[in-house]
Chains A and B, each alone.
Chain A
């Protein structure tokens, strides 16, 4: 039987209270949202916080809405809610496609979008999706709030810019006309983490690529981004040939490691192929 070590438990009702409790308990306190990453680690004693601040009642962090030209997603939104959100799907089909293949319905009922990003697992799916659409993250602390581009959010595996005493509160995704998005993942079985996955967001100017975002996960891409492939595509014709070449460039520049899920060359092959497919589908959607 896996039992976490002792900790104190507090439940916060709003963001102010979360910040006050984090300040009171100090650096050994941790926020718990869905708990589907943190509790397993505590059960294995890979994490042993002194105090847990439960944010499940902080309903002000549960929303998905459009404000001006941005899609706003509160960090307490459950995976299941993002999966079913018509407004998210309307602007960014990538979210529905990514959510459909994250874990399973029971985990999705509990796990949150903010918890996933803060966990910063190198195989996490939403990191690639948010990187592709060039989201930014809003972080609150005692002094106020700051906004960080998602492409600067991850410091390393399991490490983000969210510091002690801080709370991630919101994701903002800029909505620009003429674009669409798609997500492609290969896993070993239903509900499993990615062997490799790619998300693409593309904006067209006539037949050409005006702008593009490519996110990669599980293949060691820096900041979950295929920057060189994006660079190559900008201004080029939005056709199969360009997308195939972008896939080759993405494969070349990522750095997968071998593990129980698969060897390096297979993951690299997938990174390229999935990049090409995601770009092709995103462009098809952008055209209609």
Chain B
């Protein structure tokens, strides 16, 4: 079936099977492999992307359900060669080791800071509680998000995307 999904500000039209999952649509059909695919059982959160402005687990959403909707992936965080504060935070505070969980962590963190710019450590922990990291033990991830909260971008990151 024909669907059109707006991913990172750009419309993508594809012919897909209704049973195709959003995570595979992003990775295999659009080549956006920044979104990872892990447990496949809605537990680990590595597949987190924004669907209509809220983070969801894209292994548990059908691509056809995103028809006519907006999706934002980790590829959209960097703007004009400038990393998003959450990306800088993870880099500054060693918020990743293998990096497998990182795209999902980044997308949830960006959303948290957009809705709550100065979260407590507890609020950060709750925000990422649907996501697993097997490497860092979470301490550095929480520190990274705090760093991003303390170093917001000079320019507002929510300006409309112009790349087509």
Q: Which A residues are closer than 8 A to B by beta carbons?
A: 1-9, 11, 32, 35-36, 39-40, 42-43, 52, 54, 56, 80, 103-107, 109-110, 190-191
Contacts and interface: CB of A to CB of B under 8 A. Distances in A.
B56 A39 contact: no
Interface of B: 1, 17-19, 21, 40-42, 45, 48, 51, 54-57, 60-62, 64-65, 67, 108, 126-127, 129-131
Contacts of A39: 21, 60-62
A35 B51 CA distance: 14
Query: Max chain A CB contacts within 10 Å: which of B17, B48, B56?
Result: B56
B60 A40 contact: yes
Contacts of B51: 110
A190 B64 CA distance: 31
B19 A1 contact: no
A109 B62 contact: no
Contacts of B61: 35, 39, 110
B65 A106 contact: no
7 contacts: A6-B17, A32-B65, A39-B62, A52-B62, A54-B64, A105-B108, A106-B130
A273 to B, nearest CB: 24
Contact of B40 (A2, A8, A11): A2
A7 B40 contact: no
A19 B5 CA distance: 27
A160 to B, nearest CB: 22
A107 B131 CA distance: 11
Nearest to B64: A9
Contacts of A52: 18, 62
Contacts of A54: 64-65
A40 B42 contact: yes
Query: Max chain B CB contacts within 10 Å: which of A3, A4, A9, A80?
Result: A9
Contact of B129 (A3, A11, A105): A105
B129 A40 contact: no
A8 B40 CA distance: 22
Nearest to B112: A105
